[in-house]
Amino acid sequence: MTTQTIDGIRNFSIVAHIDHGKSTLADRLIQLTGAMSEREMQGREQVLDSMDIERERGITIKAQTVRLAYRAKDGKDYVLNLIDTPGHVDFAYEVNRSLAACEGSLLVVDASQGVEAQTLANVYQALDNNHEVVPVLNKVDLPAAEPDKVKQQIEDVIGLDASDALQISAKTGIGIPDVLEAIVTRLPAPKGDPDAPLKALLVDSWYDAYLGVVVLMRVVDGEIRKDQRIRMMRADADYEVDRVGVFTPKMVEKASLGPGEIGFITASIKDVADTRVGDTITDYRKPTEHALPGFRPAIPVVFCGLFPVDAAQFEDLRAAMGKLRLNDASFTFEMETSAALGFGFRCGFLGLLHLEIIQERLEREFNLDLIATAPSVIYKITLTDGSEIEIHNPVDMPDPVKVREIHEPWIQATILTPDEYLGSVLKLCQDRRGVQTELTYVGNRAMVKYELPLNEVVFDFYDRLKSVSKGYASFDYHLTDYRAADLVKMQILVNADPVDALSMLVHRTRAEGRGRAMCEKLKELIPPHMFVVPIQAAIGGKIIARETVRAFRKDVTAKCYGGDITRKRKLLDKQKEGKKRMRQFGKVDIPQEAFIAALKVDV
């Protein structure tokens, strides 16, 4: 490969907040460069969002890549490698690894909504990767668009020069040719030595039923060819390359890929676990001396139990999780058992949206009925003998006598909100034990930074934030550290039996309120039985809240016409005895929606 061709390559990603138009802009670029014909594009919005859930929810979950051919105004031919990235905070790790494969970014900002929390988070990630960033104002055709105001916002909040920001409408196609010109004129070409030993960055991998594991990679130095023997440096595994190619967005095979190019390889790899994201691919016979720095692995922060409603589906659930794990390396699971729910799995997720999407995919793609337990985070517990343990299931909590200290994870949250909702947002954060660290204004919008316990965020913080701000506030967070906290294990007892799926670790000051709310909710949701069902919230042996589900009552005195009252009394006493015995041995059925609704309880 000559340097001339490396000069003609541009690797870039599109970063933005959720719903600011990344995938629509990618569609227009694909259309304008002729990568897909009008007929192929017809009726297909968001070409790169291939999953059903992505299309229905209108969000990008997996970063997707496409290679476009473009002839610039100066008559020179360019190869553009575009990576479309997710905008949601739960998928920030997808953004991070996409940015590492590129030299530049298009920062898309909605001209009517302005800079949002995720815009900030993603652009800082791009700048950390030494990217050249081109600001793009999208949706300028909307009546509410204020491009000049948003340009000022970009300069004030992010500190980027936005005087020559592009003004486009990805939906109607206004200004798209200018975007292509800006990519080739304002973004740098990649650097790389074609004669050096092969060095390539493993950007992503997924499982294909026909090809085995498909590896997406960015070649830094050297060349990768078909039939070449390669080595994964961190995994210490060798493979022979079956096919090399690029996405246009269809798979197109090529003889080889050189420095600066982004493409895929297959090498009869059976398990995605062997292809760790961030690994360095090199030549088996002539390896490179230094591996690339790679990425921090995606660490699950939210855990919950997933159990099949029908115990007979347990093996189906195990197989389904194994298949999902092939395409989502950040999803982890291990087997666990529960007295109330039987056999299931303890699963780790990157956040609540990730949890919701995995659960929805399991139910939809594999036809499973699932019950999810209360989401919890990792707690670090120091025992009285000085040893430290980590727990992510409240059921595993050791005896309080043996516990010296409990540490919980804290996050740094950035919230952007119109100032009329600021009071409600601050109150919400204070109620969740938050500590305010910063409050600044940009025009009529406030940017507030809070330190919050992750435990208070994983339940329903995002939903509450959206409702108190009428949907206008945006939220981004990252983990900071672990801090000591006065936490207690709260159990829910139904008919004196603990329901481990509903037990949780809560702050002592909030335990009573949360316990009372859960008991009230369960009282509405548990159907009446033939006997009285008490619902109690307890901390250790102390009951802190109680509700009672009244029993069905059969009228046993119906057959007594008049006569002595003692006869009726005898029948009623006999019924009472029967109910008492029934309550002793009776089993209470808790419907699935009761679990889900009880976990969404708002205190």
pLDDT tens for each residue of 192-223: 888 888 888 888 777 777 888 888 888 888 88
Mention every residue, 6+ apart, whose C-beta is less than 8 A from residue 159: none
Q: Is the separation of the CB atoms in 263 and 254 below 8 Å?
A: yes
Q: How far is CA 330 from CA 255, 322, 452, 455, in A?
A: 32, 13, 24, 20
pLDDT at 39: 45
Sign of the alpha-carbon torsion through 15, 16, 17, 20: negative
- pLDDT over threshold 70, residue 584: no
Q: β-pairing, 302-308 with 370-372?
A: antiparallel
The 3-state DSSP class for residue 488 equals strand
Cis? peptide before 249, omega within 30° of 0 = yes
> Cα separation of 15 and 123, whole Å?
7
Helix 592-599 to helix 508-525 angle, to the nearest 10 degrees?
150
340 Cα distance to chain centroid: 28
366-415 pLDDT per residue, tens = 888 887 777 778 888 888 888 888 887 777 788 878 888 888 888 888 88
Give the separation between CA 148 and CA 163, rounded to whole angstroms: 9
Cβ partners under 8 Å of residue 300, min gap 6 = 330, 331, 332, 348, 349, 350
pLDDT above 70: percentage of residues in the chain: 81
Q: Where are the beta strands (DSSP E) in 228-351?
A: 229-232, 237-240, 243-247, 251-254, 256-257, 262-266, 280-283, 302-308, 332-338, 342-349
Q: What one-character DSSP code corresponds to residue 180?
A: H
**Structure confidence at residue 116 (pLDDT):** 79
CB of 85 closer than 8 Å to CB of 123: no
Which residues are bridge partners to 234 per DSSP?
none
The H or E element spanning position 248 is none
Q: Which of 265, 258, 103 is nearest to 195 (CA)?
A: 258
**Angular region, 184: left φ>0, alpha ψ -120 to 50, beta rest:** alpha
Domains in the chain with CATH codes: 3-186 (3.40.50.300), 199-283 (2.40.30.10), 302-372 (3.30.70.870), 395-485 (3.30.70.240), 490-599 (3.30.70.2570)
Which pairing describes strands 132-138 and 166-167: parallel, antiparallel, or unpaired? parallel
CA distances from 312 to 220, 316, 367, 595 (A): 50, 8, 13, 20
DSSP output for 93-157: HHHHHHHHT-SEEEEEEETTT---HHHHHHHHHHHHTT-EEEEEEE-TTSTT--HHHHHHHIIII
pLDDT of residue 183: 85
* CA 131 to chain centroid: 25
Annotated binding site: 19-24, 138-141
Q: How sure is the predictor about 55, in pLDDT bands with cuts at 50, 70 and 90? A: very low
**First and final C-alpha spacing in the chain:** 63
What distance lies between CA 502 and its chain's CA centroid?
A: 23
88 is written with which tokens?
């949601």
Compute the residue count for the chain. Answer: 603
Is 320 exposed, middle or buried (CB count within 10 Å of its CB: 0-12, 13-18, 19+)?
buried
pLDDT tens figures, 304-352: 888 887 778 888 888 888 877 766 667 788 888 776 677 888 888 877 7
Sign of dihedral through CA atoms 304, 64, 137, 172? negative
CA dist 494 and 496 (Å) reads 5
Least confident of 40-44, 354-358, 484-488: 40-44
Give the model's pLDDT for residue 4: 42
**Mean pLDDT of all residues in the chain?**
77
DSSP 14: E
Residue 275 DSSP SS3: coil
- Residue in the block written with tokens 């481990």: 500
Read off the tokens for 519.
């008991």
Contacts of 305 (CB under 8 A, 6+ apart): 336, 338, 341, 344, 345, 346, 347, 372, 373, 393, 501
Q: Are strands 9-16 and 104-110 parallel, antiparallel or unpaired?
A: parallel
Q: What is the mean pLDDT of residues 87-93?
A: 58
Of 69-78, 343-352, 503-512, 523-532, least confident by mean pLDDT is 523-532
Residue with tokens 């990618």: 26
Binding-site members for GTP are: 19-24, 138-141
Report pLDDT for 587: 58
Residue 25 token pair? 């802009």
Cis peptide before 194 (omega within 30 of 0): no
For the stretch 437-442, contacts whose Cβ atoms lie closer than 8 Å and that sit 24 or more positions apart, written own/partner, are 437/412, 442/115, 442/153, 442/156, 442/157
Helix axes 352-365, 314-327, angle to 10 degrees: 120
580 band by pLDDT with thresholds 50, 70 and 90: low
Lowest mean pLDDT among 305-309, 450-454, 553-557: 553-557
**Percent of the chain having pLDDT more than 90?**
0
- pTM, to two decimals: 0.69
